[in-house]
C-alpha cells in the first residue's frame, strides 16, 4: 500500500510537468481572434464603422518607430493562420500601424520580421508611401507577438539529418567491374 502511495506521488507531478511542457508560448489573445474580427480591406474602405472594435491583424514589419511613450509598428498585413501566425504569401490586405505602449528594440523588431497584434481600432492616419498618400488604420495594441525567425535548411545532399549508408567512397559494388545483372 505504501509503495502505491509513493508511486502515485511521483506520477502526478510527472504528468503535470508533461502537460505544461506541451503548453503554447503564444499569448491567448493572439491565438484566438475576436468573434467579429473585420478584415483590413473592409476597415480601410470604411474605417468610421469599425472604430473601437477589437481586431487581430498581423504580417511583416516595415518600420519600428520609437516615440516618447510608445512604439509605433508599421506592418504590411497578410492573412493569418488559425493560431494567429502570418501566412507566407505575397497577397496583402494593406498596411496598418500598431501602437505598442512600451519600448520595443528596433533591432529585435526589425524589418521583415513577422508580428501579430491584437487591439482596439482607434483612428486612421494618412502618410505617404513614396509619393502616394496612404490611409493607415491605427490599432492600440493590447497584445503582440513577434514570431521566431524562420530557419531554412539548405536543400540537397549532404543533408545533415539524413545519411545514406549505400552511397559514398566506402561503398564497394559487389558486381564491379561487370555491373549489376539486370536480368534478375
| pTM of the model as a whole | 0.71
Please report the pLDDT score of residue 73 as a whole number.
96
Find out whether 141 and 98 touch, Cβ atoms under 8 Å: yes
Share of the chain above pLDDT 90, in %: 50
Please report the pLDDT score of residue 23 as a whole number.
62
The predicted-structure confidence for 28-48, as pLDDT tens digits, reads as follows 888 888 988 999 999 988 888
- Least confident piece of the model among 9-23, 44-58, 97-111: 9-23
Q: What single DSSP character describes residue 80?
A: B
Find out whether 126 and 135 touch, Cβ atoms under 8 Å: yes
Amino acid at each position: 500500500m505504501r509503495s502505491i502511495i509513493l508511486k502515485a506521488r511521483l506520477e502526478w507531478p510527472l504528468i503535470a510537468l508533461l502537460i505544461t511542457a506541451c503548453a503554447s508560448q503564444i499569448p491567448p489573445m493572439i491565438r484566438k481572434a475576436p468573434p467579429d474580427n473585420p478584415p483590413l480591406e473592409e476597415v480601410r474602405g470604411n474605417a468610421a464603422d469599425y472604430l473601437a472594435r477589437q481586431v487581430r491583424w498581423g504580417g511583416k514589419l516595415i518600420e519600428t518607430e520609437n516615440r516618447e511613450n510608445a512604439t509605433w509598428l508599421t506592418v504590411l498585413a497578410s492573412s493569418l493562420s488559425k493560431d494567429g501566425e502570418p501566412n507566407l504569401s505575397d497577397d496583402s490586405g494593406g498596411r496598418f500601424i500598431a501602437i505598442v505602449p512600451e519600448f520595443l528594440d528596433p533591432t529585435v523588431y526589425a524589418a521583415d520580421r513577422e508580428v501579430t497584434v491584437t487591439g482596439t481600432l482607434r483612428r486612421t492616419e494618412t502618410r505617404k508611401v513614396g509619393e502616394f498618400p496612404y490611409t493607415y488604420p491605427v490599432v492600440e495594441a493590447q497584445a503582440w507577438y513577434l514570431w521566431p525567425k524562420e530557419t531554412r535548411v539548405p536543400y540537397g545532399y549532404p543533408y545533415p539529418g539524413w545519411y545514406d549508408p549505400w552511397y559514398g567512397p566506402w561503398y564497394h559494388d559487389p558486381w564491379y567491374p561487370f555491373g549489376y545483372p539486370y536480368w534478375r
